[in-house]
Amino acid sequence: MTRAIVVGSGISGATVARVLARNGYEVVVLEKGRNMFAGLGGSNAAVTNLFSNDEVGWESRTAPINQDPVTEPRSFRSDPSEGDRVFVGDVNDLPTTVGGGTLHYDAKFRRYREVDFVANSLMGGTADSPAIPGTTYADWPMTYQQLEPFYAVSEEVTGTQGPARMRDGRVYNPNPYESPRSTPFAMPPGVQQLNSLLPAESARRLGYHPAPVPTSIVSRPYRDRPPCNDCGFCLDYGCTINAKSSGVWPLNDALRTGRVQLLSGANAVEILYSRGPNGRFKAQGVRYLDPEGHPGTLAGDLVVLANTPIEATRLSLLSGIAPAQPNPSATSGSETEPSGLLGRNLMFHYQTATITIVDQPIHSFRGRTSTQTLDAFAGSGPGPDQFDPTVPMAGLLEIGGNLNPVTEAEYFASVLSGEAHKQMMALGPFVDHLCTFTMQGQDMPQLTNYVDLDPAIVDVWGQPIPRVTYKNHPYELAAAAYYAPKMVEIMENIGGPGSAYPTIRPLFVLQLGPGLPSVLETPAGAQVQENVVNNFPLSDVPASAHIMGTHRMALDRDHGVCDPYGRYWAFDNLYCAGGALQPTAPGYNVSLTFQALSYWVAAAIVGGVGGQDSYTPLEVGSNMSTLVSVLKSTDPDTMIAHVV
Amino acid sequence: MLSRRQFIQMAVVAGAAAAIPPVFESFRQAAGADTEAAFFLTPQRWATCQALCSRIVPTGSDPATDPGATEAHAVAFIDRFLAAFELPSSVADNPPIWVTGNFSGRNPTSRDGYATSDFPPDAFLSDSGTGHFLGLTPTQEVSWRLQLYGPDYLKTLPPWVSEKWASQIASLIPVAYPQGLRQLYDDGLDAFDSWSKSTFGTTFAGASPEEQDAMLAVAGNVVLSNVWTNVPLPTPPAPPAAASELVPAITLHTFQATYGLPEYAWLNQVDDPAYVERLGGTAQWRAIAYDGDTEPLGNSLFDPNMYGPGEGPNEGFGMEGVYVPFGGYREFRPVSTLGDSGTVLSAADAEIVKQAIVEARSKK
């Protein structure tokens, strides 16, 4: 039996483990963090968790599933000219736990559009001459149509609600900004929250087409899990009733095969490898540390890095696959990493936010954080024939937003105290009157945005920490500036002529940013956050949870770290899966694409696809039948398996 | 005219209310929930801390409907947090950093679209007064001990901790409270007391509410405190540094105690009916029209016999031959519609809110 080692148990690692195990592989999943679940390996209904509706533990304090920024810090600088670092602490920290970052997301589960896969060539760029100066903007090695079945199966396996439904025997999608789907959602949208409906209704009167947001939270009993009851504790919280469709559910599918071993508290620190007879390198296993630093070694026939783009880079650099600090003048890579691009092209999303306080109490604290989306600002599309290169590409608007009272109290504490503060709390402008837009703007890939190892600082186990070097490109700043006034216009139109909500009026609208690199200014930032190192200056340190790139996939080894199926070019059996592979960062929430890419990589491993020294688009196309047949045999009970 | 959906919602509210059993059947003082017992603060500092908390969130004229930090037992919250690693097992099974368990017992389960009379037990606090908290991982323990004990803890690190990491803490890896929270509180509370004595001739706890408010506002550099009243506050001289340094921490902890889960202050529905009630949450939450924890009931109830607007019997979702789940939602508490709780903001309120938000942003 082939034994695979998968590093990371988030939605990417869980998906790889699931596909491999369902196809007969023996799999060991290494997870650095703790396990908050019991009953894994049994039916979904028997899985219990340690989550609660707890503002203090999950928002006011560093959550128990999050990476600890003191014992496991990261460092940051925007440019090497600033020195080795300007900040140490929480830099893009995500949950480090069984199930990964999807445990605490609010589960907006979005596909990228057809144009997003080919935007560089639509704008006249090539692989060697990107359309946007100063970037490494590129087409993806696969098309939307090729990835579409993997989007569909991921939505269905994980459990996703959304508005696209069957009508007259065809899939009808009320969101005109999305690309064609071959299947409907498995269940309809759940209850819409008022602070999503208000801006959406306003946008509709202005000629836009908002729609219920596809969300990976079950709205109906689904695969032995109960439907969401809109408890109001979604973003930043683990779901107490298991309605949120996190990576733990594909992981549980994997564990149920009996061929998967989950090791939590196992911190992979080195990939073991040697050169094989064919000249390529061969991964032989992984060395890891337990929570108290005791080492362990696992041997395997293949290794898949499914941790975050930042941690996957760190692990490769700790293993000597590329230099710990890149040589800025190098024109190519090393024997083990020929592209010289490992860690580079790190991307986030450039967030631009608008907050509105309305007069009526609209209980913003209830619901799933955001239940409507407006995709009009992602750029023209969704098809190539609709593409206009002069229209800026930013991203979707997340519509809704909520805030807990501890955070509201902290925010106002910097200016109010005593009776005045209490009076403000009774009004509850954030807790009870808040509507927000958050635009997740497309972030340009740049060679100068990268992850390497900090030259001096170590974590609590003595391992070098990852360092993020990052600054924005003028493109995303300009796109944000272009759309920000339109966001304000929609908010100011709430309750205006013809409104379905004539009794509700916006009292004022505030534009947050643009100007901050991928950082949403949060009220929590106003005060000390416990066990979070004081951010200085808050606005310069990336905090985005949408982390992409560092392991760009490409058709050849000159243009990417990995081949179109996630394999490191110089290795026979070392793969990366998930968002690290993305060549670009389209302005949509990332987890679904991470999962679809992971399914794609795993299907290629199972199907024996790949292994070439370069590919043509035609070859990628001709491999599709193999990938799809793996999908059909792995998930025969899905809608997509009936369609493809 | 009411739509079918609105009608159903109204019916649900009535039906659900009928299905919920009478509350406050039995209240017992939980044995270990003696929130006057101090584990870290000296009596003098406890009094100062209590006085500070009571001005950070003051109690209104009727403590039952307009409680403050005093009713929320904020000082007990702080004392036990500072003694997190020294509490007897009868008080806390693990350091009180994160409560564990799913439900508080303030909300019942639901079935087929209705609330049941089944209230789960409070998973966070047992009847005997033992708080249930999550065990810490080795790294979490290192991190929280460092936060509480400060540099002293670096002398007693477990052997597996990297010496290089420990040596970098002071210079390269800044922690939120460099001297440790325990020292921060000891020094800060003492400083408030001595400042009050030299300024107003009495301990902080003995000063008048106006004098206390003035000291807090000056130490915290708060600029709009009399924004609603326009009543000028006394103007104490510059505060000692230790007092100013304590303000962000004690303010945060008082808010956590007051607006967070009451179990962090060893309060639940069985030991203070005036403060906490089933389905109504805490009095503090009611005063700000906030639900608090809502599970396992949640805000919407799934009803397999009901469909959402435009859904029909789930018509159109799913494909032939594939399992199609069906049913719809009732909104137990309004999610998609306006409710009758909360405060309507006047134009004057809005101006103050805007001024406060703009001011708070400019202070960053």
Relative orientation angle of helices A418-427 and B347-362, to the nearest 10 degrees: 120
What is the C-alpha separation between B32 and B36, in angstroms, rounded? 11
Which domain range does residue B98 map to? 4-292+343-362
Residue A453 resides in a domain: yes
The pLDDT-based confidence of B308 (bands split at 50, 70, 90) is: low
The tens digit of pLDDT for each residue in B104-115 reads 999 999 998 899
CB contact under 8 A, B140 and A185: no
Q: Is B103 on the interface with A (CB under 8 A)?
A: yes
Relative orientation angle of helices B74-82 and B241-259, to the nearest 10 degrees: 110
pLDDT greater at residue A524 or residue B302 = B302
Taking residue B230's Cβ as centre, other Cβ atoms within 10 Å add up to 6
The tens digit of pLDDT for each residue in B34-89 reads 667 899 999 999 999 999 999 999 999 999 899 999 999 999 999 999 999 999 99
Residue B313 has a pLDDT of 60
Single out the residue of A583, A598, A628 nearest to residue A116, CA to CA: A583
* Cα–Cα separations (whole angstroms), residue B203 to A514, B48, B63: 48, 8, 25
- Is residue A516's pLDDT more than 50? no
Mean pLDDT of A327-351: 90
**Helix count (H) and strand count (E) of chain A?**
15, 22
Tokens 């034994």 appear where?
A3
CB contact under 8 A, A359 and B165: no
Residue A171 has a pLDDT of 94
Mean pLDDT of B218-246: 81
What is the C-alpha separation between A356 and A509, in angstroms, rounded? 4
Residue B4 has a pLDDT of 29
The pLDDT-based confidence of B324 (bands split at 50, 70, 90) is: low
What is the C-alpha separation between B349 and A368, in angstroms, rounded? 28
Cβ pair B240, B184 in contact under 8 A: no
Residue B88 resides in a domain: yes
Task: Calculate how close chain A gets to B161, using CA atoms only, in Å.
Answer: 6
Residue A594 CA, chain-centre distance (Å), reads 7
Q: Is B39 on the interface with A (CB under 8 A)?
A: no
- Is residue A221's pLDDT more than 70? yes
Task: Calculate how close chain B gets to A237, using CA atoms only, in Å.
Answer: 12
Q: Which of residues 340-359 of B touch A (CB under 8 A)?
A: 341-347, 349-350, 352-354, 356-357, 359
Q: Which of residues 2-31 of B touch A (CB under 8 A)?
A: none
Identify all chain A residues contacting B97, using CB atoms and an 8 Å cutoff.
Answer: 57, 61, 64
Which domain range does residue A382 map to? 3-47+96-643
Closest partner CB to A462 (pick from B165, B260, B288): B165
The pLDDT-based confidence of A71 (bands split at 50, 70, 90) is: very high
Mean pLDDT of A484-509: 94
The pLDDT-based confidence of B275 (bands split at 50, 70, 90) is: confident
Cβ pair A43, A225 in contact under 8 A: no
Mean pLDDT of B266-295: 86
Identify all chain B residues contacting A172, using CB atoms and an 8 Å cutoff.
Answer: 316
Identify all chain B residues contacting A48, using CB atoms and an 8 Å cutoff.
Answer: 102
Task: Calculate how close chain A gets to B295, using CA atoms only, in Å.
Answer: 6
Report the range of poorest mean pLDDT among A18-32, A328-342, B50-64, B136-150: A328-342
Residue B173 has a pLDDT of 79
Residue A53 resides in a domain: no
Residue B362 has a pLDDT of 73
Residue B41 resides in a domain: yes
Q: Which residue of chain A comes nearest to B342, CA vs CA?
A: A361
Taking residue B354's Cβ as centre, other Cβ atoms within 10 Å add up to 15
Q: Which residue of chain B comes nearest to A418, CA vs CA?
A: B56
Residue B327 has a pLDDT of 76
Residue B235 resides in a domain: yes
Cβ pair A597, A584 in contact under 8 A: no
Cβ pair A132, A122 in contact under 8 A: no
**Helix count (H) and strand count (E) of chain B?**
10, 6
Task: Calculate how close chain B gets to A335, using CA atoms only, in Å.
Answer: 32
- Angle of CA points B162, B163, B165, to nearest 5°: 65
Which tokens belong to A175?
A: 């969101």
CB contact under 8 A, B327 and A221: yes
Task: Calculate how close chain A gets to B96, using CA atoms only, in Å.
Answer: 10
* CB neighbour list of residue A189: distance below 8 Å, 6 or more residues apart: A161, A162, A163, A212, A213, A215, A219, A371
Cβ pair B198, A388 in contact under 8 A: no
The tens digit of pLDDT for each residue in B155-184 reads 999 999 999 999 998 888 778 788 999 999
Identify all chain A residues contacting B225, using CB atoms and an 8 Å cutoff.
Answer: 416-418, 420-421
Residue A279 class from Cβ within 10 Å (0-12 exposed, 13-18 middle, 19+ buried)?
exposed
* Cα–Cα separations (whole angstroms), residue B328 to A227, B321, B359: 10, 21, 45
Identify all chain A residues contacting B163, using CB atoms and an 8 Å cutoff.
Answer: 462
- Is residue A293's pLDDT more than 90? yes
Q: Which residue of chain B comes nearest to A226, CA vs CA?
A: B302
In percent, the amount of chain B with pLDDT more than 90 equals 61
Identify all chain B residues contacting A86, using CB atoms and an 8 Å cutoff.
Answer: none
Q: Which residue of chain A comes nearest to B99, CA vs CA?
A: A57
Which tokens belong to B26?
A: 């039995």
* CB neighbour list of residue A116: distance below 8 Å, 6 or more residues apart: A140, A144, A381, A584, A586
Residue A52 resides in a domain: no
- Is residue B312's pLDDT more than 90? no
CB contact under 8 A, B260 and A461: no
Residue B330 resides in a domain: no
pTM: 0.94
What is the C-alpha separation between A121 and A113, in angstroms, rounded? 15
The tens digit of pLDDT for each residue in A425-456 reads 999 999 999 999 999 999 999 999 999 999 99
Q: Which residue of chain B comes nearest to A410, CA vs CA?
A: B252
Residue A399 class from Cβ within 10 Å (0-12 exposed, 13-18 middle, 19+ buried)?
buried
Q: Is B191 on the interface with A (CB under 8 A)?
A: no
Single out the residue of B147, B145, B176, B171 nearest to residue B158, CA to CA: B145
CB contact under 8 A, A34 and B137: yes
Identify all chain A residues contacting B299, using CB atoms and an 8 Å cutoff.
Answer: 191, 229-232, 366-367
Taking residue B348's Cβ as centre, other Cβ atoms within 10 Å add up to 9
Half-sphere exposure of B163 (CA within 13 A, CB side): 1
Q: Is B170 on the interface with A (CB under 8 A)?
A: no
Residue B331 resides in a domain: no
pLDDT greater at residue A524 or residue A304 = A304
What is the C-alpha separation between A163 and B216, in angstroms, rounded? 52
Task: Calculate how close chain B gets to A625, using CA atoms only, in Å.
Answer: 23
Tokens 């609010």 appear where?
A106
Residue A510 CA, chain-centre distance (Å), reads 27
Taking residue B184's Cβ as centre, other Cβ atoms within 10 Å add up to 21
CB contact under 8 A, B357 and A510: yes
Tokens 């599933």 appear where?
A65
What is the C-alpha separation between A113 and A303, in angstroms, rounded? 31
In percent, the amount of chain A with pLDDT more than 90 equals 86
Residue A277 resides in a domain: yes
Residue A63 resides in a domain: no
Q: Is B71 on the interface with A (CB under 8 A)?
A: no
Identify all chain B residues contacting A432, using CB atoms and an 8 Å cutoff.
Answer: 288-290, 342-343
Report the range of poorest mean pLDDT among A58-62, A211-215, A253-257, B251-255: A58-62
Identify all chain A residues contacting B300, using CB atoms and an 8 Å cutoff.
Answer: 190-191, 228-230
How many domains are contained in chain A? 1
The b-or-e profile of A166-181 (16+ CB within 10 A means b, else e) is: beeeebebebebbbeb
Cβ pair B308, A241 in contact under 8 A: no
Residue B30 has a pLDDT of 41
Half-sphere exposure of B80 (CA within 13 A, CB side): 33
CB contact under 8 A, A416 and B225: yes
The tens digit of pLDDT for each residue in A354-366 reads 989 999 999 999 9
CB contact under 8 A, A188 and B345: no
- Angle of CA points A374, A379, A380, to nearest 5°: 105
Residue B127 has a pLDDT of 86
Q: Is B109 on the interface with A (CB under 8 A)?
A: no
CA pseudo-torsion sign B262, B268, B269, B273: negative
Helix (H, G, I), strand (E, B) or coil at B55: helix
Residue B263 resides in a domain: yes
The pLDDT-based confidence of B233 (bands split at 50, 70, 90) is: confident
Residue B35 has a pLDDT of 64
pLDDT greater at residue A138 or residue B210 = A138
Residue B230 has a pLDDT of 63
- Is residue A523's pLDDT more than 70? no
Task: Calculate how close chain B gets to A360, using CA atoms only, in Å.
Answer: 5
What is the C-alpha separation between A230 and A215, in angstroms, rounded? 13
CB contact under 8 A, B361 and A521: yes
* CB neighbour list of residue A555: distance below 8 Å, 6 or more residues apart: A127, A141, A564, A614, A615, A616, A617, A620
- Is residue A617's pLDDT more than 80? yes
Sheet bearing A350-358, strands edge to edge: A211-212, A370-374, A397-400, A434-441, A350-358, A506-512
Residue B170 has a pLDDT of 80
Residue B310 has a pLDDT of 57
Cβ pair A117, A562 in contact under 8 A: no
CB contact under 8 A, B138 and A73: no
How many domains are contained in chain B? 1
Closest partner CB to B308 (pick from A183, A188, A534): A188
Identify all chain A residues contacting B224, using CB atoms and an 8 Å cutoff.
Answer: 415-416, 420
The tens digit of pLDDT for each residue in B5-48 reads 322 232 233 333 333 333 323 333 344 456 678 999 999 999 99
The predicted complex's ipTM stands at: 0.94
What is the C-alpha separation between A51 and A236, in angstroms, rounded? 11
The b-or-e profile of A586-604 (16+ CB within 10 A means b, else e) is: bbbbbbbbbbbbbbbbbbb
- Is residue B252's pLDDT more than 60? yes
Q: Which residue of chain B comes nearest to A427, CA vs CA?
A: B343
Single out the residue of A472, A552, A456 nearest to residue A517, CA to CA: A472
Taking residue A324's Cβ as centre, other Cβ atoms within 10 Å add up to 15
Mean pLDDT of A284-309: 98
What is the C-alpha separation between A258 and A401, in angstroms, rounded? 41
Residue A319 has a pLDDT of 98
Q: Is B150 on the interface with A (CB under 8 A)?
A: no
- Residue A507: phi and psi, rounded to 5, are -85, -40
Q: Is B232 on the interface with A (CB under 8 A)?
A: no
Residue A339 has a pLDDT of 96
What is the C-alpha separation between A610 and A620, in angstroms, rounded? 9
- Is residue B280's pLDDT more than 50? yes
CB contact under 8 A, A89 and B317: no
Pairing between β-strand A74-77 and β-strand A26-31 as defined by DSSP bridges? unpaired
The tens digit of pLDDT for each residue in A144-193 reads 999 999 999 999 999 999 999 988 889 999 999 999 999 999 998 999 99
Identify all chain A residues contacting B158, using CB atoms and an 8 Å cutoff.
Answer: 292
- Is residue A518's pLDDT more than 60? no
Residue A61 resides in a domain: no
Task: Calculate how close chain A gets to B85, using CA atoms only, in Å.
Answer: 16
Residue B311 resides in a domain: no
Residue B22 resides in a domain: yes
Which tokens belong to A190?
A: 């759940």
- Is residue A92's pLDDT more than 60? yes
Identify all chain A residues contacting B112, using CB atoms and an 8 Å cutoff.
Answer: none
Interface test with B, best of A35, A50, A198, A414 (most B CBs within 10 A): A414
pLDDT greater at residue A582 or residue B33 = A582
Q: Is B312 on the interface with A (CB under 8 A)?
A: no
Residue B18 has a pLDDT of 32
